[in-house]
Every structure is written in structure tokens, then in C-alpha cells.
Amino acid sequence: MNFNGQTQLYGFLAHPAQHSLSPLMHNLSFQARQLNACYLAFDLKPADFDSSAANLKKFFAGFNLSMPYKKQIIPYLDELTPKAQRIMAVNTVKNQAGHLIGESTDGAGLFADLQAKGQKVAGKNLLILGAGGAGRAIIAAAADYQVKKVFVCKRPNQTFVVIKQWLQKIAQSTKTEYQLVDYSDQSALKQCLQQSQILINATNVGMDGQALPLTSAVLKQLSTEQFVYDIIYQPLKTPLLQLAAKRGCPHANGVGMLLWQGALAFEFWTGQTMPLLKVKTALLNEIRRRSS
């Protein structure tokens, strides 16, 4: 690609940012779609965020955000999509003639991946582990896909009541039912898992290749009728997914969520589709290279 004075700049803003696979995904897509654009990762230190955020619309045609800026960016935006309003966090911003529009594609990315894998979610019950950044995006997006009920499993810490109030607020404006479950209540967790058709791990438990996000006693409730999704993609086969395989449960790692959230961002910016197969192959090759 030959860059020139008309090249549009896109970026990834986070701290740290060096680990991001977004430049690989989007630059490959720009090239495949013959778009005069470039995507770079920027490690933006917290002390520099406010001064930088005030000038983003001068330089970027669009950008992604990750920790710790998904909420911090909001005062600098001109508009939020309904999805972003629901979680009050964004991971994707489009510069529309100087008008910055914030969107959240994380949760939608997971559901797009489930649908691509033949999983129908409408009318089903989900058990989601964790209510951090990724968890909140998935929880909020569930209402857009006519999920019947979402059990949210969370540790009883200082944000427990805040999340409970947030879930009540979402439930009031959607047809999806939400229930918050304490991680320490093993009996309740067993019941929730028995009632759920899909289990989603939205925590980082399992990234070490050793830990399970639920106790073995709870996970014994898993049946072959249930789909197990782990948003972790490094390692590609977490302990939860290994256990799911042993129990004969269909399952998936987070590569698809990563791919689809990027594809939705790409389409939000450009109006064009991402070359999914080409990008997925490149992602898997890079993830395996980093793991070796």
C-alpha cells in the first residue's frame, strides 16, 4: 500500500497497546478492500489522555479503544449509539465529518460469532461469568438478540450493588430478564447452569492455562446440550474448554469474538465487510506464533 496525503488514519488507543491484534486485522482488510487507509496502535499513557482526546477528531477517521479508556472517552464524543448508551462504554468511534460517534461492538461480536457457529440465542437462557468490561458488553447486547434470561455471575465485591441496579435498569427497557448471582452461592450457580443453554466465561480466569472459572462441583452440571464459550483466545484451549470437550459439549474460544467485533467496527467505519476468512487465518497464525 502506498500512503499519501489522502490516506485515512485509524488507530487503537490503550495502555498498554503493543499486544493488540487490531492493526493486523484492519490493515489486512484495508488492503483486501483496496482502501487508502492505515491502522496503528498507540500506547496512550493516562496522564496524556485528556490532552490527546480533545484532538482525536483532527487526525483520525476512526479508532478503537481498550482499557482503560472505554468510559473515559465518552465526554469527548458527540453521540453514542443506543448500545453504547446502555453500557456507557465504547470500543469503536467513527469520525463523521468532525462528529464523533461512539459504538460498542464487543458484545455484538460474541453474538455474531455464536450465530455464525449455528447457535440460536433467541428465547434461550445464558449464564455469563463476570461483569467487567467485556462481560458488561455481552450482558447488554443479549437484549438485542431476544435472549430470554441472563444469569450474571459476579463476585460479591464493592461493585455488586452497582451491577445489580444496572441490570434492573436494562431489564426495565427490554424484554430480556436479568438475574445477578453471587459467585460464592454454589447452590444457586448449579441451578442457573442447569437452566442455561449457553455458558459464557467473560472473565480472565483460565488465561494461565490452569484455573477454572467455576468449581468442578458446579461444572459437573454441564450436559452435551449446552454450548460453552470462553472469550479467552490465548491459550486457544482453556481449562474450561478442555473440560467442555471431555463432557461432549460444543464449545468455542474467543477468536471468533475478536474477529467479529473487528468486522463490525470495520463495517461501521467503511460501510464494507471485512474479509473474514483471510483475517481469521492471519489471527490464528499470529496467536499460535505468540504462544510458541
8-104+256-291 shares its CATH topology with 107-253: yes
pLDDT tens by residue, the chain, 292 residues = 678 999 999 999 999 999 999 999 999 999 999 999 999 999 999 999 999 999 999 999 999 999 999 999 999 999 999 999 999 899 999 999 999 999 999 999 999 999 999 999 999 999 999 998 899 999 999 999 999 999 999 999 999 999 999 999 999 989 999 999 999 999 999 999 999 999 999 999 999 999 999 999 999 999 999 999 999 999 999 999 999 999 999 999 999 999 999 999 999 999 999 999 999 999 999 999 998 8
Q: How is domain 8-104+256-291 classified at the CATH fold level?
A: Rossmann fold (3.40.50)
| Residue indicated by cell numbers 499486544 | 19
Paired strand residues for 96: 99
Looking only at the bridges linking them, the beta strands covering 62-65 and 92-96 are: antiparallel
> What is the secondary structure of 16-37 as a DSSP string?
S-TT--HHHHHHHHHHHTT-SE
Residue 249, φ and ψ in degrees, nearest 5: -90, 135
The string of pLDDT tens digits covering residues 240-274 is 999 999 999 999 999 999 999 999 999 999 999 99
Give the chain's largest Cα–Cα span: 62
Omega prior to 235 cis, within 30 of 0:
yes
Listed by start position, the domains of the chain span 8-104+256-291, 107-253
Is the Cα torsion angle 25, 31, 35, 40 positive or negative in sign? positive
Q: Looking at domain 107-253, which CATH architecture does it have?
A: 3-Layer(aba) Sandwich (3.40)
User: Cα separation of 267 and 254, whole Å?
Assistant: 20
pTM of this structure: 0.95
- State yes or no: is 280 an active-site residue: no
Q: Tell me which residue of 67, 29, 8, 16 sits closest to 275, measured CA to CA.
A: 29
Catalytic one among 45, 57, 58, 70?
70
C-alpha dist (Å) from residue 209 to 20, 167, 205: 20, 31, 9
Q: Tell me which residue of 104, 102, 130, 126 sits closest to 114, measured CA to CA.
A: 126
Q: Tell me which residue of 68, 83, 76 sits closest to 261, measured CA to CA.
A: 83
